[in-house]
Structure formats: C-alpha cells, structure tokens
Amino acid sequence: MDLTYTEDQQMLRDTVRRLLAERHDFPTRQAAVTSGDGRAPGLWATFAEQGWLALPFSEENGGFGSDEVDLSILMEEMGRALVVEPYFGAVVLAGGLVERLGNPAQRAALLEPLIEGRHLLAFADVAEAGAEVSATKSEGGFTLSGRKQLVLGGAAADVFLVSASMPGGGMGIFAVPRGTEGLKASAYMLADGSRAARLELDGLSVAQSDLLGANEDAMTTIDAVRDRAVACLCSDAVGAMEAALDATVAYTSERQQFGRPLSEFQALRHRMAEMAVKCQEARASALLATVSINAEPSARIRGVSGAKAKIGRNARSVAQEAIQLHGAMGFTEEMATGAWFKRLFVFEQLMGTTAQHLARYGAEITRPEVLSQSLLQAPAEG
C-alpha cells in the first residue's frame, strides 16, 4: 500500500495549513472561544469559499466527490490549528447522515445551503439517561418527546437531526428546524472551547416528510456514519498531537536552564522521543481507520474502534508530556499547549470513550466468525 500523499493531497494540506495560519492564528482562536457564539468572524465563509464544506459530499449532491483521505487531511489540519467552528458536527456528522439517508428532496433542501455556508446542521444522537427520545404516531406524522445532550455544533445549528425510537422498534432520524414549537435548545461550552447544545423535546410534532428517507430503521446507516465520524476525529487528534510535539520541541530548544537549552538534557530528549513515537503510532492508527471506513462492517469496526482506543491512550500521554515539558506556563491561556491538551481530553470522550472503543474492538475480534479468519489462530493439533 502506498502511504504517501499524492501531489493534490499535498497541495490540499499545504493550502489548508497556510490559510488557517493566516486567518485563524492562536489569538484569533482565543478571541472566538471567549465570544458569545464561540465562532471566528468570517471563518465559515472562508470554508465555503475554499470548498471545504463541499469536500466530503458527492458531485451528485453538490460536493467535490473527494475521498476519505482528503477529508482526513482537512480534519488533521483543523486539529493542528485548534479550529472550533462546527465543521465536524455540521458537515461530517450531520451532513453525512443527510447524504446517506435523505431522499433527493431532503438532500437538496439540507445539503445545498450547508455547502454554501448559509445554514448549519447538528445531529442530536446522545440521549440523557432515562429520557430517550421516542416517536409516537400522530395524525399526519409523529410526536417526539425526550431529551438529548452533547449535540455537537448544536449551539449554532439551524436544523437538528434528531434520532428517535420508532413505533416499530427501529431508529429514525427527523429533521427539526430551530424554533419549532415543543423544542428547547440550550447552548453550552465544552472543555476545549467548542460549543454543543442540550435539547428538550416536549410533544414536538413532525410530519412524515421530516423523517429522513422515510426510513424507520436507520441504525445500520447511523452506525456507518458514526464510524466515519470517529475516523475523522482520530485525524483531528493526530493534528493536535503533532502540533503539541512541535511546540514542545521548539520551546525546549529555546528555554535556557543551567546555561544551556533544555533540549540538550538527555532525559528530556528521551521524553520527547517517546512523544514522537506515540505520534507516529497515532498517525498509523488514524490511517487504518480512514482506509477502513468503506470496508465491510466487521473490518470497519476493528479499524475505527482499534484506532480510537489506541489514539486515545497516546493522546493523553503526549498532551500530558507537552504540559510537563513546558512547565507551569504550559497551561496558561497565552500558550496553545493547554488548548491542545483540552482538545485531546475532549477527543477521548467524544463518540465513545477510549474504554468503550477498546471493549467494542475486543468484542469484534473475538467473534467466532472473525477468529476463524485470523492468521493468529493456532493451527489445529494432529
């Protein structure tokens, strides 16, 4: 397998890195985090102008038809630059659901303004304990009741895609515009400065046409979109990890102690070498997740959950070492080191924790059907 980027992919990476450095430097990012809506003025319009909002979608749906590697490059650079715009929640997660589940009319109504930067989507997937959202049949459609939390990008979303248990036992996705009677959205900030929302649905009425694709059992598609999103998060984490490593190497090369740079002390060099190894392991794992996205379900689960578990452990180690090697100033608001730490901390919790993905990976590789195909299986005796 060729693991090098093509010329076009190198150009994409360089362009994204350069534009984010110019228009989203750390002071700009910090100002956005502390602003009312948590967004940098004009940055989303730049995303639209550059075609980044169109990148993951097929040409049939108004996108560029780029592959998963292109998307992973974009996500990696966003992690490096600590972007808190709702690209992941609106485009990767919610947009991916619309593209896979929506009928032609729904895709046109929801994806076109998203790609043009005119409105935002958010996927409301995580139910509060004891408050699962359920759909009951009503005249002309359904009634939704329940609560959702951790709606990524939900603070600024114009339309929420709400997962709900259907009367027949399946899972459906409903498009619910902000401001719909019976919907209450409350915004809040995550530890890394990004925004999310909590939703309360109290007898909210939706039409049959609001059900994406008229599909009352979308669980298989939802799982595939979730795994694609997890692979993108892994790439984002790699960008943050490598940026933290680069900043640590630069800082220890400049900081003087006992008349010489910190980087000349062998013990610190060893620690930074360990950080570099963990970054390379994380990059390899993220690549595996990326190339597994379109594989059959078992291979996809192994690739994605194995990567999330591995990167989760490595990310924590790299982030902690970056703080330690910077000393007390590493966690001040003036330095990006603390922001990378917070981003990687949030990464560990999003879309399934490290422990949950390790358990999922373990359950998948020990299934009899998978074990029977494993090259590691011991040969039969006799």
* Domain at 219-369, CATH class: mainly alpha
When pLDDT is cut at 50, 70 and 90, the band that residue 1 belongs to is: low
The arrangement of secondary structure in 7-119, i.e. its CATH architecture, is: Orthogonal Bundle (1.10)
Domain locations along the chain: 7-119, 123-216, 219-369
pLDDT 10s digits, 274-290: 999 999 999 999 999 99
Which pLDDT value is given to residue 2?
Answer: 63
pTM of the model: 0.93
pLDDT 10s digits, 7-31: 999 999 999 999 999 999 999 999 9
| 3-state SS, one letter per residue, for 112-181 | HHHHCCCCCEEEECEECCCCCCEEEEECCEEEEEEEEEEEECCCCCCEEEEEEECCCCCEEEEEEECCCC
123-216 has which fold? Answer: Butyryl-CoA Dehydrogenase, subunit A; domain 2 (2.40.110)
Q: Which two tokens stand for residue 281?
A: 């392991």
Compute the distance between CA of residue 143 and CA of residue 207 in angstroms, rounded to an integer.
Answer: 9
Q: Which amino acid is at 92?
A: V
Q: Is the pLDDT of residue 257 over 90?
A: no
The whole-number average pLDDT for the span 303-311 is: 98
